[in-house]
Structure 1
């Protein structure tokens, strides 16, 4: 990949709730184009961990090389707020913020250069839980994104997998994690928008089980209780993309590792089938030999890198 000129990240506050600022990192390519498509790049972390700093920077550079403005949001983290009212609402409010012209104003003022935003081509991309949040910009909003790239995002929440213990992860949980200790996660105030280690591996180091948030999240994942933690109402119609696919759903491309044990590929295949049955322009790329969160360790130019790039190529084909 050629060297990419551009600037950022710039911090933009796209939402304030109860006095708390919710922000995003904005990366911009070189000025001078007639219009700039936008891609919202949403981090992973099981809706409970991660931050805007924990995304694959090579993917950001790839998008800048396509002359796209890259918006990497933080969002409030579960479990103090549920999936619908926290992460999803924040990402949907970010989309409205972009459509209302605020991104163009912010970038132009920050860089002292005109950056006309192509609001007909605002795309959503995310890894793991970020993939789910990218999909949520295809339904339940006044105006959807123009296209979605979902990398191994959780979906089909009624599937029995979501209540299944992941024994290899259970075996890695340290002894002595009391419920009282884990419940300290609910004491954090305000609700954090950055948390713990990255499940995408963008922040070096193993999980820190002395941190209640990390311990809580990994305990829920291991014991098959993530959905109870993030959306206890279990009203899947409100949050599950697979239940909201219609013929007007945005064009969607899915990339998933064949060896994924944390979010099985079968779930993405279910989503792909629903998209296909509704006549939605879509694609599914199965990545051989890769498990969950492989975006963390991809090497530019590798087979995995070249295969996942098809998702960005798919979005570019919509221009």
Structure 2
């Protein structure tokens, strides 16, 4: 590494002010600091404009993904991308590309335009900074114009003459900022070096601030989501090397910097961050402290652990030129230089919304570190704030929780634990313990919890490339960069599954439309398409939804469809004597009704009445079997959906304006168990249900299994321990076992 030590000896008078240095500015007429009593007026006004644009984009996407869904009420969507260095930047970039209607043709394309919020931390913050600070270019342009070259041999990895000149510029920036009286640390060169790696501008966007984003065209026209970058507070006065897991989270956005935490609960205008503020006011202000490179560096500042813990024997010059370290040390000694430092805007300020004594009001500077150090490697909590009204949270987790550098869901568990009390109580759904659910594919959490956000979890997995690179890998060849991004595409699109778009749409819209029996079409089935490769034909059936007709219309439609299919079996090369009904949730109910009813039960109406509507086997996954018992059987933890009220999906399906309990005989006619009796011929059943299902209680399948066995009907039952509705939370092993058991059942009924 070429030495630049001479820079530290240059006299301050010889240095011209750098554009990196904050500059004096008149203070605004509006308050600099406010208590966190909701989102800022600026954010609230902007969100109103953005929500209209996002809703239009979501409606457009849903028109393809789930054509018949009612879009009169649409959820507020947010995306959160974890830390994880360049592993997260590149994987997250692939996820965003797959969601971006300008840059992808996958089934997910267009969802990025439907987001209202986008949060990032550490590597996820590098990605968000590269996008938001550059007015939202496509991932393709960032990949082709910057990353393929810079990540292969940029400023972090080279001692070329160009790099040396960049180091000279960085050292000059640091000295100029320090000589102007502002605290500096290794965060400054770290952020500047990273910005050369990830930004489109050749100077690393040195002039761009976080608050500048508010004036960019795609932001002012509401054509992009609201960006939020997070980092962690550290109680440096206690001598901590790393923050506690319950330490406050700092948030940077285009309008404000601050924290929602109970002990700080305050925000300062981002533009004036760095000003000498006391008790919420200042006589003189500065602007330009909130440089985007400093912000992205602050969100990923994890050197403190290595510097503070001397037993690790960490050599700081392994990451920075000794000359850069010398320049920083001249102004900020070891170990202080291992933290991001900012003049404390909350000094002497007593927030009216704080519920605990302020932990920062007596500090001159705030100490900030990588949010992942407190084990919250996914920026979740700011998106749970009730004032933001996020209802669907898409999480791309690229954490290295396991020995193999894959995520295990720890950040989700911590988010759930932290949202049990206070203003966030109930905002995050229950999740299994870390490592106890599959991270090889997407998972849904909270679909059945009306108070919590719906979480769509997209963990890093090696779909097409070994994406579990180490967090400390700082060099990626062009091929590696392309492969990581392409793998991220597959994470978002779940390997290109043709029905993933419909599944994703169901998860997004489930709470808005009220759930079962209310949406879905044969164009958007959730069928196991892997069965096609085994020689089975799949026919998807349409039936009238509860918005169009009430029970028994749907059962009549399904039986009519089976009769039509059997009558035309010869035209399609089908075996008319080997039909199996398969369905999930409401579809599971329809499948069961096909299996247990006969023409004598009165559901065969319409055409082809000379043809049988019988099926030779039934595979219902987590379907209702006794509507009248659903509320009594539901987990009593306050998270389960109610089924008895008049507005419930079940009451709407039955056509019960006073609720299903008011019409027990009519409701019983819709229950599959009503039609099971000894001596009645019933085809073989294979039932499966998540034991922790909060939407359709697990015992709905238990009573179906028991009724079939009591009647002497052939039945097999596979309970999935730890799984919620849609089998959310099931492990990879459980998923494989379910597939195996389903395949065995089909082979036994239909033949291989």
The alpha carbon displacement at 1:307 in A equals 2.6
Residue 226 of structure 1, aligned match among 642, 649, 652: 649
CA apart distance, 1:227: 2.2
Q: Which of the pair is proportionally richer in helix? A: 2
Correspondent of 1:104 among 570, 584, 590: 570
Contact 2:723–2:730 at 8 Å: present in 1 too? no
TM-aligned CA deviation for residue 160 of structure 1: 5.3
**1:308 deviation in Å?**
2.0
- Pairing 1:140–2:598 present: yes
Q: Secondary structure at the match of 2:650?
A: helix
Partners of 2:701 and 2:717 lie apart in 1 by: 8
Alignment check: 8 A CA contact 1:82 1:230 kept: yes
Q: 1:298 to 1:305 in 2, by over 3 A?
A: same
* Partner residue of 1:252 out of 674, 679, 685: 685
Structure 2 residue aligned with 1:279, among 712, 715, 737?
A: 712
User: Is 1:83 the counterpart of 2:516 in the alignment?
Assistant: no
- CA contact under 8 A between 1:260 and 1:290: conserved in structure 2? yes
Q: 1:47 to 1:305 in 2, by over 3 A?
A: same
* Residue 152 (str. 1) matches residue 622 (str. 2): yes
Residue 305 of structure 1 pairs with residue 738 of structure 2: no
Offset of 1:158 from its aligned partner?
A: 2.0
Q: Out of 726, 744, 748, which is 1:293 matched to?
A: 726
Aligned to 2:701: 268
Aligned residue number for residue 201 of structure 1 = none
- Unpaired runs of 5+ residues, structure 2, are 1-502, 507-514, 600-611, 657-662
TM-fit CA distance, 1:166: 8.8
User: In the TM superposition, what is the alpha-carbon distance from 1:167 to its structure 2 partner?
Assistant: 4.5
> How far apart, CA to CA, are the structure 2 residues paired with 1:60 and 1:227?
29
Number of aligned pairs?
A: 213
- TM-score for both structures, normalised by structure 1: 0.59
Question: Distance between the aligned counterparts of 1:220 and 1:271, measured in 2?
Answer: 18
Tell me what 1:314 maps to: 745
- 1:54 and 2:524 matched: yes
- Superposed structure 1 runs of 4+ greater than 6 Å apart: 162-166, 219-224
Conserved 8 A contact 2:645-2:651: no
Specify which of 230, 238, 258 is matched with residue 669 of structure 2.
238
Give, in angstroms, the shift of residue 54 of structure 1: 3.4
2:561 corresponds to: 94
Alpha-carbon distance in structure 1 between the residues aligned to 2:647 and 2:687: 24
Following the alignment from structure 2 to structure 1, what is the Cα–Cα distance between the partners of residues 523 and 576? 25
Report what 2:581 is aligned to.
Answer: 124
From 538, 542, 545, give the equivalent of 1:70. Answer: 538
CA shift digits 1:65-118 (9 cap, x unpaired): 221110012222113301311x21111111111221x2432x3xxxxxxx2x21
Q: For 1:276-318, what per-residue CA distance to the aligned partner results, in whole angstroms no more than 9, with x for missing partners?
A: 00111001101122100127x878xx22322322133212212
Change (3 A) 1:224 1:287: farther
Q: Secondary structure at the match of 1:284?
A: strand
* Secondary structure in structure 1 of the residue aligned to 2:558: helix
RMSD: 3.0
Who wins on radius of gyration, i.e. which is larger?
2
Q: 1-side partners of 2:702 and 2:721: how far apart?
A: 15
Q: Is the contact made by 1:220 and 1:229 (CA closer than 8 Å) also made in structure 2?
A: no
SS of residue in 1 equivalent to 2:620:
strand
- Quick one: structure 1 residues 65 and 160, their matched pair in 2 at CA, closer, same or farther if it must change by over 3 Å? closer
SS at match of 2:745: helix
Per-residue deviation, residues 191-211 of structure 1 (Å, max 9, x unmatched): xxxxxxxxxxxxxxxxxxxxx
Q: Does the CA contact (< 8 Å) of 2:626 and 2:668 recur in 1?
A: no
Call closer, same or farther: CA 1:130–1:98 in 2, change over 3 Å: same
Describe the shift of the 1:166–1:73 C-alpha distance in structure 2 as closer, same or farther (beyond 3 A). Answer: farther
Q: Is the 8 A contact 1:169 1:222 kept in 2?
A: no
CA deviation after TM superposition for structure 1 residue 265, in Å: 0.9
SS in structure 2 at match of 1:119? coil
Moved more, 126-135 or 151-160: 151-160
Note if contact 2:584-2:622 (Cα within 8 Å) is conserved in structure 1.
yes
- The structure carrying a bigger strand percent of its residues is 1
Cα distance in 2 for partners of 1:163, 1:288 equals 17
CA distance in 2, matches of 1:132, 1:162: 19
Q: Quick one: distance in 2 between partners of 1:66 and 1:147?
A: 17
- Measured against aligned partners, the alpha-carbon deviations of 1:224-278 in whole angstroms (never above 9, x if no partner) come to 7222211025513432111111341111110000110111111110110000001
Greater RCO, CA 8 A, separation 6+: 1
Conservation of the 8 A alpha-carbon contact between 2:620 and 2:687: yes
Q: Residues 276 and 157 (structure 1 numbering): CA distance in 2 closer, same or farther, change over 3 Å?
A: same
**Aligned residues of 1:163 and 1:225 also touching (Cα < 8 A):** no
1:161 matched to 2:631? The reply is: yes
Q: Whole-Å Cα distance in 1 between the matches of residues 717 and 559 of structure 2?
A: 25
Find the aligned partners of 1:88 and 1:166 in 2 and give their Cα distance.
33
Gaps of 5+ in 1: 1-42, 108-114, 171-218
